[in-house]
Amino acid sequence: MDKIMYKGKVLIVDDNEDVLFSLNLLLKSHCEAIRVATAPEKIAHFMKVFEPDVIFLDMNFRRDAVSGSEGFKYLEEILKADSDAVVIFMTAYSDTDKAVRAIKAGATDFIAKPWDNEKVLATLRSAMELRYSRLEVLNLKERLATIGHPDGYDGLALIGESPAMRRIKADIERFATSDANILILGENGTGKDVVAHLLHSVSQRRDNPFVAIDLGCVPEQLFESELFGYEKGAFTGAVSAKAGRMEAASGGTLFLDEIGNLPLQSQAKLLTAIEKREITRVGGTKCKRIDVRLISATNCDLQRMVAEGGFRQDLQFRINTIEIHIPPLRERGEDILLLAEFFLTKFAKKYNKDVRRISRDAQRLLMKYDWPGNVRELQHAVERAVIMEDSNILRPDNLMLSPAQALSSPTEELTMNLEELERDAISRAMKRADGNISRAAELLGITRYALYRKLGK
Number of domains in the chain: 4
Q: Is residue 450 part of a domain?
A: yes
Q: Is residue 151 part of a domain?
A: no
pLDDT attached to residue 449: 66
Are 356 and 233 within one domain? no
Contact, 127 vs 86, CB < 8 A? yes
pLDDT attached to residue 153: 43
pLDDT attached to residue 6: 66
Contact, 225 vs 279, CB < 8 A? no
Tell me if the pTM is above 0.85. Answer: no
Contact, 12 vs 35, CB < 8 A? yes
The CA distance from 11 to 36, in Å, is 6
The type of residue at 89 is F
What is the DSSP-derived secondary structure letter of residue 132? H
pLDDT attached to residue 70: 81
pLDDT attached to residue 140: 60
pLDDT attached to residue 276: 92
Report residues of the chain scoring pLDDT below 70.
Answer: 1-6, 62-68, 93-99, 136-157, 402-420, 431-435, 449, 452, 456-457
Measuring CA to CA, which residue among 326, 327, 265, 272 is closest to residue 297? 326
pLDDT attached to residue 409: 41
The CA distance from 115 to 124, in Å, is 13
3-state secondary structure of 278: strand
Q: Is residue 155 part of a domain?
A: no
Are 215 and 318 within one domain? yes
Q: Is residue 421 part of a domain?
A: yes
Q: How many CB atoms lie under 10 A from the CB of residue 93?
A: 13
Q: What is the CATH number of the domain that holds 254?
A: 3.40.50.300
pLDDT attached to residue 410: 40
Q: Is residue 355 part of a domain?
A: yes
Domain with 337 in it: 329-412
